[in-house]
């Protein structure tokens, strides 16, 4: 009956621990490798209460108590370390002594309770985790046997001492088996953690597989589809994808505020972009959201944007979600990198198409030949030079196969083009070059389309003469290329559409250059509306 009573009280402790392990707070504390002092203090207090409570629920036998105090001390110390085992051993031992100072077993229980705390600490620090349960049972049996020996040695009434030992020794020693059960119960949380990690990894892979087709499209609508998938699979209230400056796509609560509009990223998102570190806020209070996870997305070793997951409930960003999100961000970053490469190939093909348009553009040829015919009689030398310029320009476009060319060669193509246009516009067009003596390679057709845009959309519509300035200057470790005109000036809606990726075919050359420069060098065209005219700048690294 006493053995059954020991197991009943141990079962009570097991049941209480089981209920605690179902709570998120206890799971969170148990699974952490490095606990805060307040968390360690909470666990220590819990096992002190278990140990003291075990004394109160003990069964009195000949002036002694059959209890599970040693089980509580050893279990807590082996699982959570010295800051739990030693306090539980000292407090429960002193308590056991004080409630029965003259009892036949009080001193023995005090000594073995403290020894149990120290022994638990030794097992925690010296033994592998997989053997905790086995060593815990052995330690429990040792402590109970040692208690029996001390009862006999320290008691003045040997007859009573032998009577107590004969009645309680077997239940107390056998009850030590419960230490293994308690340790296994808590350790199963780690295995559960592994199972959760496996589920989260599978979830990340599932999301990556679902979103891959949309990343290949590389449009705002496709990114919104990506956000929808992530929001549904993570049960989030909202999901957003940003680049390093703007919100690219948003899905979920408050989505109507993002329709047909572009928003700058928040200060918290800017911090994630700047530091490259994951940001968790479980006590947020912004637009009805109380939990936020911001994961940096990487391309070519730099942060190119972020993935943001919002919840309206506080404390929803738990370690399992964090790990899943980190894995997902790595997959998404890889997908974006692959998509960028594929997009670069597509843009190269589009650039070749633009080049073909330049080669056979009938309006360009018509205007050039018309200018030449006008000059043949009045200025034959200039007409002859213009024919040479046109021949060089056409030969360049027809024979150019290399992907990268020297900057000086690219500028010569621009000079040939400018010569033809100046013949057309006469005194209305002035073009100046301010070029450092530099030699580096750039892709074909990056500068000429911008000069063409400045002339056709800036100078030509103007009623007064205009100037185009082309500058190639060293700027620190980069090279700054600038095309500035004094024409009518670019409209703000054209700039907005360019940056949003929705510019029409009328400005296909401008759109093409912006996207190619973005893909190649990480940032696209910097366009500035001037008091008179427009300035376009991009940097070559």
User: In this structure, are strands 478-485 and 526-529 parallel, antiparallel, or unpaired?
Assistant: unpaired
Whether 78 and 124 have beta carbons less than 8 Å apart is answered as yes
**Phi, psi torsion values for 102, nearest 5 degrees:** -95, 10
Q: What is the spatial distance between Cα 130 and Cα 123, in angstroms, rounded to a whole number?
A: 11
pLDDT higher at 189 or 401: 189
Inter-residue contact 298 to 333 (CB < 8 Å)? yes
Contact assessment for residue 485 and residue 466, using Cβ atoms and an 8 Å cutoff: yes
pLDDT of residue 80: 83
In sequence order, what are the beta bridge partners of 310? 238, 292
Q: What is the pLDDT of residue 357?
A: 45
Task: Select the highest-mean-pLDDT range: 193-202, 358-367, 403-412, 506-515.
Answer: 403-412
At 259, is the pLDDT very low, low, confident or very high (cuts 50, 70, 90)?
Answer: low
- Cα gap 320→494, rounded to integer Å: 45
Match 């309770």 to its residue by tokens: 113
| d(C-alpha 517, C-alpha 478), whole Å | 14
* DSSP state for residue 289 in the 8-state scheme: B
Residues 272 and 296 sit within 8 Å (Cβ to Cβ)? yes
Give the pTM. 0.39
pLDDT at site 484: 96
Q: How many CB atoms lie within 10 A of CB 346?
A: 14
Mean pLDDT over 268-275 rounds to 89
Where are the alpha helices (H) located in 155-275, listed in sequence order?
Answer: 158-175, 177-217, 220-234, 267-275
| CA end-to-end distance (rounded Å), the chain | 84
Query: pLDDT at residue 345 above 50?
Result: yes
Q: Which of 322-331, 407-416, 494-503 has the highest mean pLDDT?
A: 407-416
Contact at 8 Å (CB) between 109 and 94?
no
Return the percentage of the chain with pLDDT > 90, whole number.
13
pLDDT of residue 529: 92
Average pLDDT, the chain: 80
pLDDT of residue 25 exceeding 70: no
Nearest CA to 508 out of 355, 360, 400, 401 is that of 355
- On the question of pLDDT at 276 being above 80, the answer is yes
From the DSSP assignment, how many helices (H) and strands (E) are in the chain?
A: 18, 14
CA dist., res. 68 & res. 235, Å (int): 44
Cα 46 from Cα 76, distance rounded (Å): 9
How many Å apart are CA 500 and CA 262, to the nearest integer?
Answer: 8
Which of 237-246, 354-363, 431-440, 532-541 is the least confident region?
354-363
CA distance 26 to 298: 34
Q: pLDDT by residue (tens digit) across 362-381?
A: 556 676 777 778 777 777 88
Q: CA-to-CA distance for 252 and 256, rounded, in angstroms?
A: 9
d(CA 355, CA 402): 13
Based on the number of CB atoms within 10 Å of its own CB, is 125 exposed (0-12), middle (13-18) or buried (19 or more)?
exposed
Nearest in space to 86 (alpha carbons), one of 73, 75, 96, 98: 73
Token pair in block for residue 69: 């105090």
Residue among 485, 452, 349, 474 nearest 407 (CA): 474
How confident is the model over 65-94, as pLDDT tens digits? 777 788 888 888 888 889 988 998 899 889
φ, ψ for residue 59, nearest 5 deg:
-100, 125
Range with the lowest mean pLDDT among 50-59, 254-263, 516-525?
A: 254-263
The answer to whether 489 touches 535, Cβ cutoff 8 Å, is no
User: Which residue in 249, 271, 253 sits closest to 262, CA to CA?
Assistant: 249
- If one compares 432 and 541, the residue with the highest pLDDT of the two is 432
Closest C-alpha to 114, from 140, 88, 132, 133 = 88
Beta bridge mates, 170: none
Q: Using CA atoms in the order 347, 351, 352, 355, what is the torsion angle rounded to 10 degrees?
A: 170
Rounded Cα distance, 8 and 405, in Å: 85
For range 128-141, the mean pLDDT:
86
Name the DSSP class of 283. S
Q: Does residue 395 surpass a pLDDT of 80?
A: no
pLDDT tens, position by position, 143-183: 888 888 888 888 888 888 888 888 777 777 877 777 777 77
Token representation of residue 461: 């519509």
- Predicted confidence at residue 360, as pLDDT, reads 41
Q: What is the pLDDT of residues 397-450, one digit of tens each?
A: 665 555 678 899 889 888 988 888 888 788 899 999 999 999 988 887 788 889
Residue 457 reports pLDDT greater than 70: yes
Task: Give one DSSP letter per residue of 227-296, joined into a string.
Answer: HHHHHHHHT-SEEEEEESSBEEEEEETTGGGGTT---BPPHHHHHHHHH---EEESS--BTTB-EEEEEE
* Contact (Cβ atoms closer than 8 angstroms) between residue 310 and residue 253: yes
Residues 6+ apart with CB under 8 A from 334: none
Q: Two tokens at 327?
A: 């894995």
pLDDT given at position 303: 85
Which distant-in-sequence residues (6+ apart) come within 8 Å of 128 by Cβ?
Answer: none
More confident residue, 1 or 319: 319
d(CA 441, CA 439): 7
């Amino acid at each position: 009956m006493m053995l059954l009573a020991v197991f009943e009280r141990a079962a009570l402790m097991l049941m209480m621990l089981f209920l605690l392990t179902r709570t998120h707070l206890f799971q969170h504390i148990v699974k952490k490798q490095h606990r805060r002092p307040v968390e360690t203090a909470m666990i220590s207090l819990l096992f002190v209460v278990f140990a003291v409570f075990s004394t109160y629920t003990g069964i009195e036998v000949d002036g002694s108590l059959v209890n599970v105090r040693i089980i509580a001390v050893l279990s807590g110390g082996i699982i959570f370390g010295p800051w739990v085992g030693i306090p539980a051993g000292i407090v429960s031992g002193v308590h056991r002594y004080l409630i029965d100072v003259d009892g036949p077993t009080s001193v023995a229980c005090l000594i073995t309770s403290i020894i149990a705390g120290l022994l638990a600490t030794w097992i925690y620090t010296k033994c592998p985790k997989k053997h905790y349960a086995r060593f815990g049972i052995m330690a429990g049996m040792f402590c109970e046997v040692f208690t029996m020996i001390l009862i006999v040695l320290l008691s003045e009434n040997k007859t009573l001492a032998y009577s107590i030992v004969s009645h309680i020794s077997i239940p107390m020693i056998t009850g030590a088996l419960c230490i293994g059960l308690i340790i296994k119960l808590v350790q199963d949380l780690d295995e559960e953690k592994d199972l959760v990690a496996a589920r989260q990894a599978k979830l990340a892979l599932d999301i990556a597989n679902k979103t891959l087709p949309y990343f290949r499209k590389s449009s705002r609508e496709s990114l919104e589809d990506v956000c929808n998938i992530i929001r549904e699979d993570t049960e989030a209230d909202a999901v957003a994808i940003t680049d390093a400056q703007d919100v690219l796509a948003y899905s979920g609560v408050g989505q109507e505020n993002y329709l047909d509009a572009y928003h700058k990223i928040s200060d918290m998102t800017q911090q994630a972009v700047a530091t490259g570190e994951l940001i968790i806020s479980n006590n947020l209070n912004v637009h009805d959201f109380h939990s936020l996870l911001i994961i940096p997305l990487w391309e070519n070793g730099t942060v190119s944007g972020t993935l943001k997951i919002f919840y309206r409930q506080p404390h929803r960003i738990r370690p399992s979600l964090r790990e899943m999100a980190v894995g997902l961000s790595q997959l998404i970053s890889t997908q974006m990198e692959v998509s960028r490469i594929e997009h670069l190939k597509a843009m190269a093909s589009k650039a070749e198409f633009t080049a073909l348009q330049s080669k056979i553009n009938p309006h360009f040829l018509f205007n050039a030949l018309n200018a030449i015919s006008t000059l043949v009689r009045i200025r034959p030398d200039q007409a002859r030079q213009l024919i040479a310029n046109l021949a060089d320009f056409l030969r360049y476009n027809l024979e150019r196969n290399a992907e990268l060319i020297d900057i000086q060669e690219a500028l010569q193509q621009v000079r040939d083009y400018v010569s033809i246009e100046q013949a057309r516009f006469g005194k209305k067009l002035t073009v100046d070059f301010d070029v450092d003596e530099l030699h580096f390679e750039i892709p074909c057709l990056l500068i000429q389309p911008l000069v063409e845009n400045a002339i056709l959309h800036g100078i030509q519509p103007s009623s007064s003469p205009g100037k185009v300035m082309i500058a190639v200057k060293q700027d620190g470790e980069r090279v700054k290329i600038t095309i500035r005109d004094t024409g009518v000036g670019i409209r703000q809606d054209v700039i907005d559409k360019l940056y949003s990726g929705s510019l029409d075919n009328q400005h296909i050359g401008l759109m093409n250059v912006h996207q190619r420069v973005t893909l190649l060098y990480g940032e696209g065209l910097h366009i500035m509306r001037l008091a008179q005219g427009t300035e376009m700048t991009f940097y070559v690294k």
